[in-house]
Structure 1
Amino acid sequence: MNEKKSIDAYLNEIKQERLLTDAEERQLAERIQQGDQQALADLTTANLTYVVSLAHQYAGSGLPVEDLISEGNIGMMRAAARFDGSRGKRFVTFAAPYIRDAMQQAIEQQTGLYRVLHEGDVKAEKRRSHPLSIDAPVGGSQDLSLGRVVANPHAIDPSRQMEEQAIIEELAHLVTRLDERERQVAACLYGIDTPQLNMAETGEKMGLKRERVRQIRDKALRRLRRMTSNKDLLNYLSR
């Protein structure tokens, strides 16, 4: 069985799992903290499709998607063991950094990036007296340059960027519960799997007047707010 068929079979197996409510996640989190392994399994099983969606973002990185899914599932289990449902975050928002980190570490191990600029490396020590081009490859990898290793003081904070990405991913997860027209409007206005549009552009794309788009958006927002207690996501929806 090739990779695509294998992943399709896996998706068919897990797609029957229904999404959990906020209350259900909180209850499972409490049981997990008490050592309930079934609760751990229930929380992670309900979010397996989310790991698959993240794994596809790393396709072509050097690891088969199947391996990325496997590593992501391990990361999700680590997150589940630490998840506190009382803090107002949905599990996928909390787990996203753990899942991504697990996948990225696996990719780095596979491609040998852990060998980059180790302190005390004899060869690196010999090179310190010579100027290096910012575009020069390092660590034996032609894909990694010094410019990608050195921090950019003007760059966006990666942790903040990851948190915002997690919020968008949770929003995309919740949008699937809306009806078709609400889903289309939300996808356009928030740039979910499509370029982000304003209300006028969304109306033009969907053949609707701007006021109608606003009405559909407001209805979708009311439904989305009822679906989550994640304060970060609620703040994002209020922008």
Structure 2
Amino acid sequence: MRKPCNEQLCALAQKGDAHAADLLLEHNSGFIRKTASEIFLKSNLAESDLSIEPGDLEQEGCIGLLKAISSYDKSVGVKFLTYAAPFIRNAMTDLVRDAFSRYEQRMVDSENGLGLQKVRLDEVLPGEERLLRMEAVADIAAKSPEQVYEERETLRELYEGLGQISEREQTYLLYRHGFTDDIGHTLIGTAIHFHLSEKRAKRLEGEAMDNLWLELPWWF
């Protein structure tokens, strides 16, 4: 007997058939698992302190798929999985965003917090962030004079390049790549920090990196 397709199962689930909904989850578990793995790697969750596992993302993806059932309309001509995919992905990314938000708020509220409060790019002075980084250069006694010189020369050229791009771009890159605290921040974490959407943060980062690259001496 031929197995029912996603669209047929969705029609049954819309009528209240719980078994059909379970079969939808089962039939699309591979896609949910793959999406969870992609977001887990993209968000660098293995190296974070958020305690989010791939299984947590998969669970949220299942919830997202179930939410898509009620509003799906087969007559539009779109496959069910194509329609449900954004619901699945959004459920997973919402989990990550909420976790980042709670984590950063805990850091702000804690006595020994790292000062990860949300700020706006227009309110940050790049000069202050640059000074913080310059003070964080490795101890000269820990490396050879040649290594220290090379690193500082590279930093000098980098900061000169940063000085040629916009203040918003400077501030974003300094935070994103850990120049202010020696901690690289994920794209989503940086977006949250600066009150940006993930899409806007990604676009800003691309533009900033392109502009910085053109200002570096080794480009010429």
Give TM-score scaled by structure 2 length: 0.45
Normalised to the residue count of structure 1, the TM-score between the two structures is 0.42
Structure with higher Rg: it is 2
Point out the structure with the larger helix share.
2
